[in-house]
Structure 1
Amino acid sequence: MAKDFLLGPVLSFRGLGENDTWKVTALIGIKPGAPEPLLQVEGRDCPAPTQLLATRKARYLRYDLSCQQQKAERRVGYGVAGGPVWHFTVPGKHLAPRMAYVSCNGFSDPTVMRSHVSQANAVWEDLLYSHDKLVRIRNPGPGDKLLDKEQLWHEVRIHDKGLQRFHLLLMGGDQIYFDSIWHQLDELKKWIGLSRDQQLNFSVSKVLDEKIAAYYFDLYAERWLPPGRRPWGSEPNRDAADAMARIPTVMMWDDHDIFDGWGSYTPEMQRSPLFQRLFHHARRAFWVFQMQQVLDDLPALTDSTPTGFSQQDPLYAAISWKQRLAGDPLALPLLDGQPGYTWAFRAGPLAILVADLRTERSRTQVFGSSTWSRLKEWLNGLEDKGEFHHPGTRCQHLLLMSSVPVVHPKLTLAETALDGFGQDHVLDSSADDLKDHWSHDDHEGERTRLLEVLFDTARSKKVRVTLLSGDVHVAARGGAFRRDQPASEGWGLIPQFTASAVVHPSLKGWLEQLFLATLNKCARTPQQAGPQYQVEMMLFPGHNQYVMPARNWLALELEEAHDAKLWATWRCEGEKMFSNHLHTVPPVR
């Protein structure tokens, strides 16, 4: 029956539950009249699935695959009764999960997608090979270590050998690219040619609205389980679908999950009827496919801007997620009282904060006031015991998933030039890409506020904060520093790891190479973030430049020790093989 799946299975991690429950769900799409598949996990029947969405073309079901953590990690099998079987791996009690981080799973330009289809999944293939064959590294030497697939991570860093599969797949944004909507729908192709006034006042008909809704829902199935791939139960495809079926995901959207540049257009364009309907349907599709929540549980966003106040920023009313999702035992642990989808969880000595940088984004803000309050409340409550106390388990590392890099070269001249050009052009991403950055003049103040909150958490909780980012189609390493605290003191340094992209091509054309040279030149200059903080890029490990122009993914692992180091290894695609680039982050002492 799995050969008839329209989508999935897509695994989703839902956080830790009571009694050491590792909460995992699986999303599956089937035809409207088809019988519900019987899924089994660890040899027992799964409970009846929850229907997340039903359309004329498909039904989308969520199955509960949750299981108990044991002293040691273990593989858990699940599958369709009498059909194919998949496996995911559950970490041992009180231990941090091993993770892989990816972003930008697609192409901005559909013509590029067609021309790259034969090699589009090369990085996913490498990640999945690592998932199956990984043996950890010990004492890497200086410079690049080029390893082909038969040599992959063949040295041993920790005493144990054997297979070291990933427990979580962190997907930091642009899980799907909806930019193609401007080329695929005739009404939107015509909209592009209208004058600005006509665009702002363009009325979305009922017919067009239905087309937009169908496009956002249907494209997930088309891209996440492509019709041309080999069916389940045959030879593995080693693509994104394979990865999402075998490693529970932790997802957060970015602009391409809506369309390119969402949140960085002018306020007039952001609030135009067409843009609002596009966002409305993108939000609903994101809720179902990436959050794996029941569509009927998603409330509408309401504008809370007081009468007479500026409409510059979208001041959406906060949502009581705790009350809204009270009837769903598998609901994601969203921070309560925010308009967006920021969520967080603890897993042994590790905490992960998954930040929503898009719901409230505008030219002049990233988070609204209620989200800032909820973020600080959660961080203030980050005590040793966490949500579920394990004796002797202390939170040592906090990972913040920020889809857009907090630390990135600042292109001052380009910002100045593009501020007056390229405004609201949906097919030209140059201006909105720069306006997206935390380092842009419009967001620098809020970046300083973020650093202040994170450094305060690092100091007061004695926890190492590390930033994980994507978006920019290069691999890179940077850091933020408290100028009055030497990095050797521990909490005065916040590293950032950028891993991008897993599918989208990196900077290869001659114009992109010129941009790359400019990027590396600007990366030499540290940036001041308020009176206390300095932000700077660092040479990429094993590379003589600050950014690595290659498709890539990032492996993250915490040592099983009292003072556990975080090991980060980028796997970067080369012409003939992949290269390893490793960096370690000590805990706060």
Structure 2
Amino acid sequence: MADTTIQPPHQWYVESSAKLPPSSETRILPNCPMRKLMRTPGVSQNGDYAAHGAGDVTNNSNSFELISGPLINLKNMHYESAPVWHGSVLIVTKPTQQKPLLHLHQLGPVGSQSQSQSQSNQTVEGLKLYEDPDKAFWRFSLAVPVESYEARWEYDIPGLYNSSESVKAPWEFVVPAEEQSMRIMFHSCNGFSVGTDMDAWLGPNLWNDVLRVHGERPFHVMVGGGDQIYNDGIRVDGPLKPWTAIGNPHKRRTHDFDNKMRADCDEYYYANYVRWYNTEPFRAANGRIPQVNIWDDHDIIDGFGSYTDHFMKCAVFRGIGGVAFKYYCLFQHHVAPPKSTFTTDAPQTMHAVNGTSGVDPRQVENVYVLENQEEDDSWITGKRPGPYVEERSRSLYMRFGKRIGFVGLDARTERTRHQVNYPDTYKLIFDRLESEISASNGDIKHLVVLLGVPIAYPRLAWLENILTSPLIAPIRLLNKRFGVAGGLFNEFDGQVDLLDDLDDHYTARQHKRERRELVQRLQELARAHSLNLSGENDHRFIVNVVSSAITNKPPPKAVANLLARRNKIHRLDRTCDETLMPFFDKQPGGIEKSATWNKVTMPSRNFAILTEAVAPTANGDGVVGIETSKLASLPKDGHAPLHKGEVEAGSTHSAADGISSNSGMYGGLDVAIRVEIDPQNREGATEGYGFSSKWRKIPYLIFSEIRVIITIFPAKANLIFFTFIVPPLTATEGPPVSSRHSFRSRKSHAESRPTSREQAVAAEQPGRPSTAL
């Protein structure tokens, strides 16, 4: 693998990265060197395809100078009649009068070297989403039939070139079979915080391991849990640097965000996206593993939404929120952006009109923006704009193959220090889930819920209390007057820098009620669509998998160990407990990352893999090599494994490699976390840790559940899983199988710690969190 040098983002230009050599499986587009991004005269076009203005920079030939891409997205799968996979491909080019074409054809089954004789050949015309004098964004909408086999598809875009050289290679992606659920790769925090030592952290190396695993057994989708890009540098070496340097907080809050400042920020966000999305090996994955993304604070700026309300409402933060949303729409969702974004010198942009900013004529001069586009059917669009972004939230629902439903919550657009989402947004989301699950006629067995921050996490209320106590006030005053303890306080609202991260978490005290209600609604959804079995098989059973970060540096070992010491059995309400599961049985590659006693948190870069277990073992019940007697001998201490799939969870588990999926937990999910061994290793070598979901068999139907919280610190995004149990009319209940939940029913666990009368009363009172939390 060629070296890739990660350059810091700059306002006016982006650096190219090294080329990735062609692989034996799929040839990769060479990297596109970027020239200085200068504003040029307008673009001349015809008809309703036209941009305003005129100029002589437009390419009239059938060739297209590539700036970034291709990026492939998953849009949805539909099973109403003949199953269809929907996706899109995005490219960014220099402006052109011609429409690029994409050629798509099927190569045949995965693992087969023979070319398919299928007639599924398509030519798709590019749709222009946005164009200004420097760049044009093109989307190709794909709809391919789902076959009875896992199929390889190849696409090519003729005429692409960079630096006057032809692009010689097509790209491949894989679509699951009709009866198959998707193989999921999950990641978050895909970038570097300001101040990262780039000599210690050599870039996005783990994407090499992602591509290596993908080559052995393809992923059908890669889910980005937020922070797909870090735009924090805008305040360090970008156009917000002078504003950040203003010493008087009042002057910072009242500073205008005029059209010139917006244009400068627009250039920065665009250039940073191009720089990062052209960085190998992340770039290689973007072209061949379909993406599904939600955004989080770093996609805008660190802590966006979690600073004090009076500061979040300042013009500069509202302005960069709008600009960040523009490029989030284009690069991460392949949809046209708003025609204008917030500025203080165009009052019509300062308030949402029909759910988006009003139009500023200056912002659409020499610019084309696609209008009247149909919204993706995967989107769940909020009813009203967010408090700090003049746009409505966009959550996602889609099918991940035959038996998996997916919902991703936009937990940033509506976020404040005191709420994550509006109540009416939760109603929209749960109404959609009810509709989709009912319409699946029992096919959906697993629901994957994506949140930007963990719903279950070790409690740090004691730290919140310290950082918000009167004891901090004298230090803050000394910092303001003399610069004492400058690293302790953030540059924006003057609060302790760590507070925005603590306030982000659902477990923060101001989010406890919202958190509890969200979990209880998920449990009620499971109850409504499941067989309410007695004993261990309870609708309250939910799994929380935290995997972060794939690129950003982890915090020190001491922080991970501190979190591990906070691993208690916490109480959601009087019927449900939660806890962490021992998982990291060894240090990755023998390199010490945390204390030897710490089995629950891992301060190392990582990503997660989920694969449906599709073949039972020879004896038909359980994980390969695990004896039932081992489970019976384990202590009932509230933390021990409770079914075969959790016994010996960790590096020796059969699911740990993320490839073989031979756990034998038929109908459940195999979960693997691949943890980086050495950040100096450019190949991204990892150690795998795994566990498998619980299962329960009824004639003609397989029931599966998973339980476990796995935390890999830093925790910035997570997936939640639970399983719908739909019994056949003739089913009879089998022998009970022991189980415990991450979010688990208290009534079935006599071994849980005693609960005081005061705690029980507190749990029953709405709005009052239990002291056990």
Q: Report the TM-score, using the length of structure 2 for normalisation.
A: 0.60
1:337 deviates by: 4.5
The equivalent of 1:472 in structure 2 is none
1:447–1:529 contact (8 Å) kept in structure 2: no
Amino acid at match of 1:449: E
Whose radius of gyration is greater, 1 or 2? 2
1:11–1:246 contact (8 Å) kept in structure 2: yes
Give the 3 Å change call, closer, same or farther, for CA 286–165 of structure 1 in structure 2: same
Distance in 2 (CA, whole Å) between partners of 1:262 and 1:356 is 13
The equivalent of 2:575 in structure 1 is 532
Q: Does 1:191 align with 2:244?
A: yes
1:540 deviates by: 2.3
The equivalent of 1:357 in structure 2 is 411
The equivalent of 2:105 in structure 1 is 42
Q: Does 1:334 align with 2:379?
A: yes
Distance in 1 (CA, whole Å) between partners of 2:530 and 2:353 is 34
Give the 3 Å change call, closer, same or farther, for CA 190–383 of structure 1 in structure 2: closer
Distance in 2 (CA, whole Å) between partners of 1:564 and 1:5 is 44
The equivalent of 2:218 in structure 1 is 165
Q: Does 1:174 align with 2:227?
A: yes
1:54-453 alignment to 2 at 5 Å?
54-81=131-158, 83-109=168-194, 112=197, 114-115=198-199, 119-133=202-216, 164-226=217-279, 237=280, 239-296=281-338, 328=373, 331-338=376-383, 339-346=392-399, 347-383=401-437, 385-386=439-440, 394-419=443-468, 425-426=491-492, 429-453=497-521
Amino acid at match of 2:669: L
Give the 3 Å change call, closer, same or farther, for CA 121–336 of structure 1 in structure 2: closer
The equivalent of 1:52 in structure 2 is 129
**Residue range with higher mean Cα deviation, 287-296 or 67-76:** 287-296
Distance in 1 (CA, whole Å) between partners of 2:516 and 2:278 is 41
1:177 deviates by: 0.3
Q: Does 1:518 align with 2:562?
A: yes
| Structure 2: unaligned runs, 5 residues or longer | 1-28, 33-64, 107-120, 159-166, 344-350, 357-369, 384-391, 473-487, 587-597, 617-665, 695-703, 705-722, 726-773
1:396–1:462 contact (8 Å) kept in structure 2: no
1:526 deviates by: 2.5
Q: Per-residue CA shift, 1:320-367, capped at 9, x if unaligned? A: 9xxxx9965682511245430111012311100011110000011001
Distance in 2 (CA, whole Å) between partners of 1:298 and 1:369 is 28
Q: Does 1:556 align with 2:617?
A: no
Q: Per-residue CA shift, 1:73-132, capped at 9, x if unaligned? A: 1110111237311100000114211110011110012653x4357x31321101110000
Distance in 2 (CA, whole Å) between partners of 1:497 and 1:318 is 37
Distance in 2 (CA, whole Å) between partners of 1:382 and 1:337 is 18
1:205 deviates by: 2.8
The equivalent of 1:470 in structure 2 is none
Q: Per-residue CA shift, 1:517-560, capped at 9, x if unaligned? A: 211111x2222223333232222243542111111111111123
Distance in 2 (CA, whole Å) between partners of 1:533 and 1:404 is 21
Q: Per-residue CA shift, 1:272-310, capped at 9, x if unaligned? A: 111110111111111111111112589999xxxxxxxxx
Q: Does 1:568 align with 2:671?
A: yes
Give the 3 Å change call, closer, same or farther, for CA 198–275 of structure 1 in structure 2: same
Q: Per-residue CA shift, 1:451-483, capped at 9, x if unaligned? A: 10111111211299xxxxxxxxxxxxxxxxxxx
2:239–2:268 contact (8 Å) kept in structure 1: no
Amino acid at match of 1:560: V
1:351–1:398 contact (8 Å) kept in structure 2: yes
Give the 3 Å change call, closer, same or farther, for CA 34–215 of structure 1 in structure 2: farther
Distance in 1 (CA, whole Å) between partners of 2:310 and 2:288 is 43
Amino acid at match of 2:463: A
Give the 3 Å change call, closer, same or farther, for CA 12–300 of structure 1 in structure 2: farther
The equivalent of 1:492 in structure 2 is 540
The equivalent of 1:21 in structure 2 is 84
Distance in 2 (CA, whole Å) between partners of 1:396 and 1:74 is 23
The equivalent of 1:460 in structure 2 is 528
Distance in 2 (CA, whole Å) between partners of 1:565 and 1:434 is 33
The equivalent of 2:70 in structure 1 is 9
Q: Report the TM-score, using the length of structure 1 for normalisation.
A: 0.78
Amino acid at match of 1:103: S
SS of equivalent residue, structure 1 residue 180: helix
SS of equivalent residue, structure 1 residue 64: strand
Distance in 2 (CA, whole Å) between partners of 1:298 and 1:349 is 40
SS of equivalent residue, structure 2 residue 272: helix
Give the 3 Å change call, closer, same or farther, for CA 326–23 of structure 1 in structure 2: farther
Q: Per-residue CA shift, 1:420-479, capped at 9, x if unaligned? A: 556763497411011101100010111101110111111211299xxxxxxxxxxxxxxx
2:490–2:497 contact (8 Å) kept in structure 1: no
SS of equivalent residue, structure 1 residue 547: coil
SS of equivalent residue, structure 2 residue 580: strand
2:381–2:393 contact (8 Å) kept in structure 1: no
SS of equivalent residue, structure 1 residue 65: strand
**Residue range with higher mean Cα deviation, 253-262 or 189-198:** 189-198
Give the 3 Å change call, closer, same or farther, for CA 525–252 of structure 1 in structure 2: same
**Residue range with higher mean Cα deviation, 11-20 or 1-10:** 1-10
Q: Per-residue CA shift, 1:131-161, capped at 9, x if unaligned? A: 002xxxxxxxxxxxxxxxxxxxxxxxxxxxx
The equivalent of 2:629 in structure 1 is none
Amino acid at match of 1:264: S
Give the 3 Å change call, closer, same or farther, for CA 24–59 of structure 1 in structure 2: same
1:444–1:529 contact (8 Å) kept in structure 2: no
Amino acid at match of 1:408: Y
Count of paired positions = 500
SS of equivalent residue, structure 2 residue 517: helix
* Equivalent residue in structure 1 for 2:551, among 484, 487, 503: 503
Amino acid at match of 1:247: I
1:382–1:461 contact (8 Å) kept in structure 2: no
Amino acid at match of 2:101: L
1:541–1:583 contact (8 Å) kept in structure 2: no
Give the 3 Å change call, closer, same or farther, for CA 297–14 of structure 1 in structure 2: farther
1:11–1:244 contact (8 Å) kept in structure 2: yes
Give the 3 Å change call, closer, same or farther, for CA 72–53 of structure 1 in structure 2: same
The equivalent of 1:156 in structure 2 is none
1:191–1:199 contact (8 Å) kept in structure 2: yes
1:48–1:63 contact (8 Å) kept in structure 2: yes
2:235–2:241 contact (8 Å) kept in structure 1: yes
2:540–2:576 contact (8 Å) kept in structure 1: no
SS of equivalent residue, structure 1 residue 210: helix
Amino acid at match of 1:205: D
Distance in 2 (CA, whole Å) between partners of 1:326 and 1:396 is 38
Amino acid at match of 2:378: P
